[in-house]
Amino acid sequence: MTDVFGLSHKDTGPVTGNDVSTAGSAGTSGTQGVHEQVVFCADEHSGLRAIIAIYSTALGPSLGGTRFYPYASEQAALADVLNLSRAMAYKNALAGLDHGGGKAVIIGDPSRDKTEALLRAYGRFVQSLGGRYLTACDVGTYSEDMDVIARESRYVTGRTVANGGAGDSSILTAYGVFQGMRAAAEHVYGTPSLRGRRVGVEGVGKVGHRLVDHLVEDGAEVVVCDVNEQAVERVRRRHPQVAAVAGRAELIAEPIDVFAPCALGGSLDDDTVAGMNARIVCGGANNQLAHAGVEKQLADRGILYAPDYVVNSGGVIQVADEIHGFNMDRARAKAAQIYDTTLKIFRIAAEEGVPPAVAADRLAERRMSEVGRIRAIWLGQ
């Protein structure tokens, strides 16, 4: 493929993280589908180079965040936005939202390239899609950035509380992960309570540290790891009883009941699964499965995997609520339904003899197909 933006490795610098979509994203059970629309956006003066991908509008306007990331190549950015937008369609479908799946990537280093002009230029492209795509925060973008984009577009959510927005989406992301974990405990132990269970949390950033709060409140024993020493210290100041270990290898070797990946993607690789003591995996990170087939390895070892995009949908539920005028109680009540959805997926997985990740994909595809089809009913003039 010819680069639309004429990017080279030299232009963008190295990819510095690994939280890009992997083969383990939603929709790996077979149906990849075709994206409805992919838009390349460029503005020479501000330096904007962005790609907006709309996977599906079967359930309503597509919704998904904007990732600002120093991709090594345009192909890497395109691959990421295609995977991420498809994953959003599955996530939004199972979150019960009237939204399809979309996502955008801005190519660049946010610490160097993010300017008011660039964000506003991007906002005009979002506006030009007439509401087919609604944007929000993702890696490299924050609520303050959404406030700036919203000066050029009505189709923006995840703004700051001061501007009528839902604010930090990690609040309900963590709450939803906790609900998913309660469902997993119910399925495995016959009780949703995590009291007395030992939970290992990898990554105690925005989502992870809030998850620790819920777990401690419920009476769980918690052990954490994070590459950032300050993040660990923050948790231990709040909860001195929380233990800390050096890294993921040490965490999974601990006698833990639940492993909660809340750092970057790809935590569940062959080695992690082989060395795992936990009976449940349930965490907030996106794209936890390092490659297709890991979901089966987990199932073969008797480890219950709560699909990432099901249990981490509290954040998108929070920002979707903002579109109707934000109400935290209403959004929290919707995020609480993640408990029922997760239990339902475990039940279908058992009935159909497939891993929960496959059952989740099937359920999402069914909703997109069945609800999407009602649009064929003619409404009259």
Ligand X SMILES: NC(=O)c1ccc[n+]([C@@H]2O[C@H](COP(=O)([O-])OP(=O)(O)OC[C@H]3O[C@@H](n4cnc5c(N)ncnc54)[C@H](O)[C@@H]3O)[C@@H](O)[C@H]2O)c1
Residues that bind ligand X (CB under 6 A): 19, 169-170, 173, 202-208, 225-228, 231, 248, 262-265, 284-286, 312, 315
> Is the CB of 125 or the CB of 309 nearer to ligand X?
309
The dihedral over CA atoms of 88, 89, 95, 97, expressed in degrees to the nearest 10, equals 110
Identify each DSSP E strand in 226-262 by its residue range: 243-244, 258-261
- Residue listed under structure tokens 């936005």: 81
For ligand X, the closer of residues 224 and 354 by Cβ is 224
Length of the chain (residues) = 381
β-pairing verdict for 280-281 and 258-261: parallel
Task: Give 145 or 202: the residue with its C-beta nearer to ligand X.
Answer: 202
- Catalytic residue annotation: 103
- For the record, the structure tokens of 107 come out as 């190519």
Residue among 225, 199, 192 at smallest CA distance from 278: 199
**Smallest distance from ligand X to CB 173, Å:** 4
Residue 302 CB, nearest distance to ligand X (Å)? Answer: 25
Least distance (Å) between residue 41 CB and ligand X: 23
* Closer residue to ligand X, CB minimum distance, 7 or 252: 252
SS3 332: helix
CB of 256 to ligand X, least distance (A): 15
Query: Where does residue 341 rank: exposed (0-12), middle (13-18), buried (19+ CB within 10 A)?
Result: buried
Nearer to ligand X, 297 or 312 (CB): 312
CB of 352 to ligand X, least distance (A): 27
* C-alpha triplet 181, 355, 77: angle, nearest 5°: 85
Name the closest residue to ligand X (Cβ): 205
Cα 193 to chain centroid distance, Å, stands at 25
Q: Report the distance separating Cα 63 and Cα 227, nearest Å.
A: 31
As a whole number of angstroms, the distance between CA 179 and CA 314 comes to 10
CB of 298 to ligand X, least distance (A): 18
Structural contact between residues 359 and 306, judged by C-beta atoms closer than 8 angstroms:
no
Q: Which is nearer to ligand X, 124 or 198 (CB)?
A: 198
